[in-house]
Structure 1
Amino acid sequence: MALVDVAPATLRRAELHASVADPVLDTMNFLNEITHRYPQAVSFAPGRPYDGFFDVEEIFRHIRRYLDHLVEGGATAGEVRDALFQYGPTGGQIRELVADSLREDENIDVRPEAVVVTVGCQEALFLTLRALLARPEDSLLVSSPCYVGVTGAARLLGVEPTSVEESRDGFRCADLDAALVAERQRGRRPRAFYVVPDHSNPSGSTMSVEERHALLDLAAREDFLILEDSPYRLVSPGRQLPTLKALDRNRRVVHLGSYAKTLFPGARVGFAIADQVVVDEDGGQSLLADELTKIKSMVTVNTSPLSQAAVAGMLLAADGRVSQLNTRTAAYYGDAMRAILQRLDECFPEPERSALGVRWNEPAGGFFLTLDVPFAADNAALVRSAENNGVIWTPMSYFYPQGGGERSLRLSVSYLTQADIAEGIARLARFITSEAARAR
Structure 2
Amino acid sequence: MTASPDLYVRDLHGSLQDPVLGAVGFLNEVMSRYPDAISFAPGAPHPEFVQGLDTRALTERFLTHLVTDRGLDPAGAERALYEYGPAQGLINDLVAEALRGDQGIHADPREIVITVGAQEAMLLTLRALFRDADDVLAVADPCFVGITGAARLLDIPLVPVQEGPVGLDVDHLAAQCREARATGRRVRACYVAPDFSNPGGVRMPLGVRHRLLDLAAHEDLLLIEDNAYGFTASEDDSLPGLKALDRERRVVHIGTFAKVGFPGARVGYAVADQRVRHADGERLLAEELADLKTMVTVNTSPLSQAVVGGLLLDHGRSLTALARAKAERYRRNLACLVDALDHHLADELPPGIVWHRPAGGFFVRVDLPVPADHALLEVSAGAYGVLWTPMSQFSLTGRGDRQIRLSCSYLEPDRIETGVRRLAAFLRKETGA
TM-score of the superposition, structure 2-length normalised?
A: 0.96
1:379 aligns with 2:377: no
Amino acid at match of 1:389: Y
Partners of 2:263 and 2:321 in 1: CA distance: 18
Tell me which residue corresponds to 1:399. Answer: 394
1:48 aligns with 2:48: no
Q: What is the alpha-carbon root mean square deviation over aligned residues?
A: 1.5
CA shift for structure 1 position 404? 2.2
Tell me which residue corresponds to 2:54. Answer: 58
Instruction: Indicate the SS of the match to 1:201.
Output: coil
Amino acid at match of 1:30: F
Tell me which residue corresponds to 2:425. Answer: 430
Aligned match of 1:222 in 215, 219, 226? 219
Partners of 2:45 and 2:309 in 1: CA distance: 19
Partners of 2:84 and 2:294 in 1: CA distance: 11
Aligned match of 2:152 in 131, 149, 155? 155
Aligned match of 2:206 in 190, 209, 224? 209
CA shift for structure 1 position 169? 4.6
1:269 aligns with 2:264: no
Instruction: Indicate the SS of the match to 1:102.
Output: helix
Instruction: Indicate the SS of the match to 1:249.
Output: coil
**Within 5 Å, which residues of 2 pair with 1:61-72?**
61-72=57-68
Aligned match of 1:245 in 243, 246, 258? 243
Instruction: Indicate the SS of the match to 2:167.
Output: coil
Tell me which residue corresponds to 2:290. Answer: 293
Partners of 1:392 and 1:92 in 2: CA distance: 39
Instruction: Indicate the SS of the match to 2:431.
Output: helix
Aligned match of 1:356 in 329, 351, 354? 351
Partners of 1:160 and 1:39 in 2: CA distance: 38
Instruction: Indicate the SS of the match to 2:164.
Output: coil
CA shift for structure 1 position 283? 5.4
Partners of 2:186 and 2:223 in 1: CA distance: 14
**Within 5 Å, which residues of 2 pair with 1:12-411?**
12-73=8-69, 74-238=71-235, 239-280=237-278, 282=279, 284-349=281-346, 352=348, 356-411=351-406
Amino acid at match of 1:75: L
Amino acid at match of 2:8: R
Change (3 A) 1:40 1:109: same
Partners of 1:320 and 1:260 in 2: CA distance: 17
Partners of 1:231 and 1:374 in 2: CA distance: 31
Contact in 1 for aligned 2:62/2:313 (Cα 8 Å): yes
Amino acid at match of 1:26: G
CA shift for structure 1 position 7? 9.7
Amino acid at match of 2:289: L
Alignment deviations for residues 182-229 of structure 1 (CA, whole Å, 9 cap, x no partner): 111122111100011101100111111111000000000110000000
| Runs of 5+ consecutive residues of structure 2 not aligned to the other structure | none
Contact in 2 for aligned 1:199/1:233 (Cα 8 Å): yes
CA shift for structure 1 position 93? 1.0
Contact in 2 for aligned 1:318/1:324 (Cα 8 Å): yes
Amino acid at match of 1:63: T
Contact in 1 for aligned 2:367/2:404 (Cα 8 Å): yes
Partners of 2:311 and 2:274 in 1: CA distance: 29
Instruction: Indicate the SS of the match to 1:166.
Output: strand
Contact in 2 for aligned 1:151/1:401 (Cα 8 Å): no
Tell me which residue corresponds to 1:3. Answer: none
Instruction: Indicate the SS of the match to 2:115.
Output: strand
Q: Which deviates further from its counterpart, 75-84 or 427-436?
A: 75-84
TM-score of the superposition, structure 1-length normalised?
A: 0.95
Instruction: Indicate the SS of the match to 1:153.
Output: helix
Aligned match of 2:410 in 410, 415, 424? 415
Amino acid at match of 2:221: F
Aligned identity (percent) is 47
Alignment deviations for residues 161-189 of structure 1 (CA, whole Å, 9 cap, x no partner): 11112125532211111111111112211
Partners of 2:51 and 2:340 in 1: CA distance: 31
Partners of 1:236 and 1:51 in 2: CA distance: 20
Contact in 2 for aligned 1:140/1:194 (Cα 8 Å): yes
